[in-house]
Structure 1
């Protein structure tokens, strides 16, 4: 008797993406989300066109290695400010997540903002959710081709303008506009405009929720920053179950049914296509579209709002009031994050606004460490890299202290233009017999002649032959 061959089963490790057609919704959180879209994009698209002291107000000039931020000019030596800024962003993320979950993702993340803008264009050209679904199922026709072409042309125009604006933060935007109008952009400028435009077009137009679900690391580690007192979007299962349809005039407490009429509106408006009634999921970006949709349904069925709402795990479990939920939100973790954030932000802006607009680096001449010149004097040679970080020209006086009879053997005044830098060769001499043999500590002082309070002191070493 022959044995039957073992059954073979094929397991597909990849599931094709199902197209999501988010329904448009109106409500408090939808208006708040669009307010964030307007605010962030007015800043992004508008700031490069602002001027400050006859220059672009915000410009990251990588070629000249100068970062202009309104009245502040930062140099590579100011890299510490970037590090502190990243720390501020990290603490802000920890704080906002501990208080209100993925509130950043739902309202201000660039992926969310541009997806909202691209969806608005799609609705204006292809119609509402049902119309878009019907259009995609229809065979290709001239009407469908025209609508699809118009949509992608509008998407591409917005994406190109976004890429152009992005490059405008690194190349003077007015100069960039003139070059773009004459198709005279350099190869790197073309590359970055097209690269950023392609990223915007692909992420917001095609990938959408896949960026949030699979590409963004925040979705994966957000749960480690949640606890039972973190505000999250929650479905009130105790009130809503069991689900079932009812007439508009029926009472919410009539019969065995809960408040949920199982209309699936909360699923239809979700940009990631999840059902919030299944509980908290990492796919949820916290946009609160489901809250607006559910509140609208509750109004139509004459039931109180809040079946889906912002709440906490403890609030739902112990049926806490909104006041108690807010009180428990101010827990030790939040207070510590807030204190650290305020401390770092205060230190950041305090040092940034009170920084001295002058930088000096001292470099010894390694070709001649020490030498004897006329009259038996000992001479050391240095190079001072003097940087005027102010937006006005200044003259500076150089002096040296630390040893009796020490003085400069070169001119002691140097002129620098606005935001200019200059390497100044300096010869320093002391009389024979002064100073200890070997290494002697000295200091260079550079002072602005027209602003004596602008002064920098840099330590150095003077070598006396043994």
Structure 2
């Protein structure tokens, strides 16, 4: 039996005017919570890029050297499997939180939602409250309208530039990048990407807004598959609210055949996607709880209990009890914990030296001593934060001799390319290709070692 909750396609509500959605100002617990999450996201995003660590940018994906610095740790392309693990953990975390509490990620921490709320605040600061913005949008062009619109778009562009500069600053050192931008000397690829992300921020948060959540984000499409009858979602309680209708404070609503909903439509006016939550769960709902704050304020003024709109499960709306511990949620939780543990172990066991062996395209040659010889290029990467001394050797290679520079000194986060040769000391093999194992080991930290496989080619002994 399918116990998922279908997400409804609802016709365009009356509050969606021809010139866009204009949200009303409100206050409440969930608004403060959302501002707190948004503040942490802004501090993390805009602040981290400017932090230094041991003389370099603390978080930097240095594309020129293929190094990803995260404070004291440096990751290389060989470590990208760890990034895959992190992305899988993030996906399972999203699944788990969706099963438990719906689209709270969208409502509180998704960058699209956070930047959209910021852009709407700029709109309110420059064009006024909801009714003023609606009148201004419908009014003919005037000096006042041009000035307000110009200031609004200037703020949007300023936020877009700051966002684009910061994002690119995680891939190119941000301090010289900012200086070049301020002095108008920035050019080439860096300028293109700063302008690209500026435009993306400006368009997505300023113009597209809810269209991104409804039409471009796949999460809205599969959220109903993740929901079950015990998933918490922003919902209206029709048993308590119906029938709707206006009334005076203190009047006997039950005697008039009315429920607690006074049909003020404030829940619709504060919604950033313009839906009417009273019509049920909809794909456009991002779970931001703006309607909960607006409705709770109205209920407080009317002297009614809060919670007409709230985080509720379908089971609780039908009069049942929400089941908090259920197989699907427990399954996601266990899988999430196991993957986090596996990632922590992988990080702890990550080899801090990397060895790649590239065999010369020439098959073999004969040296001055008459020995068959193969040429190799060793690439050794020191992934530690300190200079290391290394020794390169062959493992279990009786009858072979490693020749060339085998004692290496490599700086922190640096790579050394060392050409070496391997000579065959014994008689030629019965096979034309034999496996070889190279090993590099730190003399300063003997546990820090890595091995790589290659092959030795020689003419067949007949």
Displacement after TM superposition at 1:437 (Å): 5.0
Query: What is the distance in 1 between the residues matched to 2:166 and 2:398?
Result: 58
Shift of 1:415: 2.3
Quote the offset at 1:367 in angstroms. 0.6
Structure 1 residues without counterparts, runs of 5 or longer: 1-14
Q: Displacement of 1:152 after TM fit? A: 1.2
Q: Is the 8 A contact 1:291 1:306 kept in 2?
A: yes
* Contact 1:392/1:417 (<8 A) preserved: yes
- The answer to whether the 8 Å contact 2:399/2:425 transfers is yes
**Residues 27 and 294 in structure 2, CA contact (< 8 A), matched pair in contact too:** yes
Find the partner of 1:364 among 351, 355, 359.
359
User: 1:172 Cα shift?
Assistant: 0.2
Pairing partner for 2:455 from 438, 452, 461: 461
- Who is 2:282 aligned against? 281
Q: RMSD of the TM alignment (CA)? A: 1.9
Distance 1:424 1:62 in 2: 23
User: Structure 2 stretches of 5 or more lacking a match?
Assistant: 1-15
List aligned pairs for 1:54-73, cutoff 5 A. Answer: 54-73=55-74
1:239-254 matches, within 5 Å, as 239-251=240-252, 253-254=254-255
Does the 8 Å contact 1:388/1:418 carry over to 2? yes
Which of 450, 453, 461 in structure 1 is aligned with 2:444? 450
Pair 1:85 & 2:79 matched: no
Q: Displacement, 1:374?
A: 4.7
Contact 1:376 1:432 in 2 (8 A): no
Q: Helix, strand or coil for the counterpart of 1:428? A: strand
2-side partners of 1:28 and 1:381: how far apart? 69
Which residue of structure 1 lines up, in the alignment, with residue 334 of structure 2?
339
Report the Cα offset of residue 286 of structure 1. Answer: 0.6
Aligned length: 445
Q: In the alignment, which residue of structure 2 is the partner of 1:180?
A: 181
Moved more, 150-159 or 360-369: 360-369
- What secondary structure sits across from 2:448 in the alignment? strand
* Cα distance, 1:405 vs structure 2: 4.5
Shift of 1:434: 7.9
Deviation at 1:83, TM superposition (A): 1.6
Q: Which of 332, 344, 351 matches 1:349? A: 344
Q: Deviations over 1:367-399 (max 9, x none)?
A: 133x44455544332221111122322221111
What pairs with 1:420-439 in structure 2 (closer than 5 Å)? 420-433=414-427, 438-439=432-433
Query: Secondary structure of the equivalent of 2:284?
Result: coil
Please list the CA deviations of residues 243-300 of structure 1 after superposition, one character each: whole Å capped at 9, or x if unmatched: 1111111245443111111111111111111111111111111111111111111101
User: Does the residue aligned with 1:452 lie in a helix, a strand or coil?
Assistant: coil
Name the stretch that deviates more: 251-260 or 111-120: 251-260
Match of residue 401 from structure 1:
395
Residues 25-66 of structure 1: CA distance to partner in whole angstroms, max 9, x if unpaired?
111111111111101011010011001110001111112211
Q: Is the 8 A contact 2:357 2:379 kept in 1?
A: yes
Counterpart for residue 266 of structure 1: 267
Q: Which has the higher contact order (CA 8 A, sep 6+)?
A: 2
Look up the SS of the partner of 1:447 in the other structure: strand
1:144 aligns with 2:145: yes
Instruction: Assess if the C-alpha contact under 8 Å between 1:376 and 1:431 holds in 2.
Output: no
**Whole-Å separation in 2 of the counterparts to 1:130 and 1:390:** 60
Question: Secondary structure at the residue paired with 1:120?
Answer: helix
Check whether the contact 1:405–1:434 (CA below 8 A) recurs between aligned residues: no
Tell me the TM-score normalised to structure 2 length: 0.92
Deviations 1:189-239 (A, max 9, x none): 111111111111111112211211222221122111111111111111011
- State which drifts further: 349-358 or 145-154: 349-358
What's the CA shift for 1:16? 9.3
